[in-house]
Every structure is written in C-alpha cells, then in structure tokens.
Amino acid sequence: MRKRQLGSTGIFVFEVGFGAWAIGGNAHGNSYGPTDDAVSVEAIRAALDLGCTFFDTADVYGHGHSEHLLGSALGNRRRDVVIATKVGGDFYGSVPRLNFDTDYIRTALERSLARLGSGYVDLYQLHNPPAAYLRDGTLFELLEKLKEEGKIRAAGISIFEPKEGIDAIARFSPDAIQVVYNVFSPYAADNLFPLATGKGVGIVAREPLANGFLTGKYGDKAEFHEGDIRAAWPREYVAARAAAAGVLAGLAHEHGMTPAQLALRYVLSREEVSVVIPGIKTPEQAEENFFASELGPLNDELLRGIKLIQKRQFGL
C-alpha cells in the first residue's frame, strides 16, 4: 500500500483507511445494519495485518461502541496507527443532540480516550457542525489548546457539503477536512480540493462507496434493517443508485477488478486525497478494499467510462 501525507501535519498514512462507522452496530440506529462484534474485531486485526494505519471512528457511532471495539482490537499496536475520531453528537443525555460547547468537548474527548485506551487522538474532528459554530472562534482556540496539551495531534472537521469546507478554511486553519467524495458525489474536487491543497489541509474522503451502493451488492429492490440509515430512503433514490452502480460494476468487471475497488481507485486518482475511508465490517471487505491500493492508477478508458456514468445521472 502507498503512503500519503495528511495535509501538512507530517503524519503519513497508508492511502486506504478503515471506516469504523458500521462496526458501531445497530443498537442505537444511525447505522449500516446489524454487526457481530467478534467479526468486527477480526476485521480490525485483518486491516492491521494488511498494513492499514488509519482508522476513522466517532464517539457517536454505536454510542461509543465503535471506539471501544477499536481500542480493544488495537491493544498494544496503538502506536503503530493513526486514530481519527469525532465529537459533536451528544448522546449522553436522555435525548441525543448536537453539542459543540467547549466544556462538553473536553469531557467527550476524555471519554473517547478512555474507550480507545489511549492518551491522545491523532486527528480530532468536529462532526458535522452547523455553520453558526464555524463562526465561534473559541471553538478553534480550544482545539489549539488540546494540541498544546498533547491530547490531540491534529484537528479537523467532518462535513457533508464542499462549501462547508471552504467556509471552515476561511475561518480557521483545520489540519484536515473529511468530506463526501465518490463517483456519485464528485463535487468536492471542483473548488474544495484545490483550496485545501493550497492551504496545506489534508482531505479524508468519506463515503467512497456511496453508502455501500458502489460495491454492486444492492439492487433496486434492496431492503434494509430498521435503524439502517438507508431504510428511510425513497425507493426512487435507491433505484437510481442501484442503476448507476450496476453500470459501474460492469465497467469494473471488464477491467478485472471489483466494483468497490474501481470506486476506491476513482477516489485515489486525486492526489489531493490524503486517505480514503471505506466502511469495513468483515476481514473479507478489508482485504478487498486494501487491495485497491495495489491496482495502480485508472487508465483513460476507465476514467471516460466513469464520466459517462456521471453524465447520465440516473435521476440521482
């Protein structure tokens, strides 16, 4: 696997990381369906053995369960890896809510560290903060203090829309921005990527497999478990994603790779991306995803085929 630098932090990671949202499980909804903790631990350890060094989680994933599993599975190999986690989804009260108060962030960080079994987090990210919080300078002052105290090595922000990342760069100096980037949602490359690169900001590409659809596993009649975020999607949206993914799958098979590997190679074709984080639930998924790093750049024919898929839109 190939290494890339996380912006200008001096932190180097293998270019394919481990997205740990799914292993948080289904107990509290906001998930990708049921999981088996033993298999999740096997997936983490398989990733380690395959050379993965970047693990991305959040305290809200499974209400701490993802962090706990990650900490347990890493054990004495903690210093061999880079851990990124997130804060802002306050699930400790009777009703979950957004919370970016500075006192809360300090408390949440300590609880994350306890679950991870670590004295520090490598990349601490604000988790989908509303725009109003980006105007609060005290929030970013706190992140700098946490760096000085050795609690975190780098600070970033996880967002949905590229414009949020552009606004964040204008208001403070994040070390990294985590943003949606995949075949279905390539828009971050237009303006955010060049700006981030010019400012030395790393890009963590989230949802590279488009919530699993770019694996080619889901058809237009796909059903999802209660608590799975995809269960509430309109049927026409599911059908559109399945149709587009089906065309991509055909293109992948023609060139001797799986649909997931082609989707990951598409993301990695952008030099601005520091690391891509596909969601992983099993050792088999870990092996498939990490092998994408060995496949090399996409040729012009493949890139043209992907652009044609994007041009058709499929109602997405």
- Which domains does the chain show, CATH number per domain? 3-312 (3.20.20.100)
Which residues are catalytic, by number?
61
Whole-number Å distance between alpha carbons of 137 and 21: 29
Per-residue confidence (pLDDT) for residue 313, from 0 to 100: 86
Please, how many CA atoms are within 13 Å of residue 287, restricted to the half-sphere of its CB?
A: 5
Count of helix runs (H) and strand runs (E) in the chain: 11, 12
* Residue 82 CB-half CA count within 13 A: 30
For the cut 90, the answer to whether the pLDDT of residue 71 exceeds it is: yes
Sign of CA dihedral 259, 282, 13, 155: positive
Instruction: Write down the pLDDT at residue 143.
Output: 96
When pLDDT is averaged across residues 5-28 and rounded to a whole number, the result is 97
- Between the alpha carbon of residue 26 and those of residues 62, 120, 177, the distances in Å are 7, 27, 27
pLDDT for position 247: 96
Identify the three-state secondary structure at position 140. Answer: helix
Per the structure block, which two tokens stand in for 170?
Answer: 């204008």
Q: What number is the average pLDDT over the span 198-212?
A: 98
Per residue in 90-138, pLDDT tens?
999 989 999 999 999 999 999 999 999 999 999 999 999 998 888 878 8
Per-position DSSP letters for 218-277, written without gaps between them = --TT----TTBGGGGS-HHHHHHHHHHHHHHHHHHHHTTS-HHHHHHHHHHT-TTEEEE-
- Write down the pLDDT at residue 29: 87
* Percent of the chain whose pLDDT exceeds 90: 92
Task: Sort 96 into a burial class: Cβ within 10 Å, 0-12 / 13-18 / 19+.
Answer: middle
In this prediction, residue 305 carries a pLDDT of 95
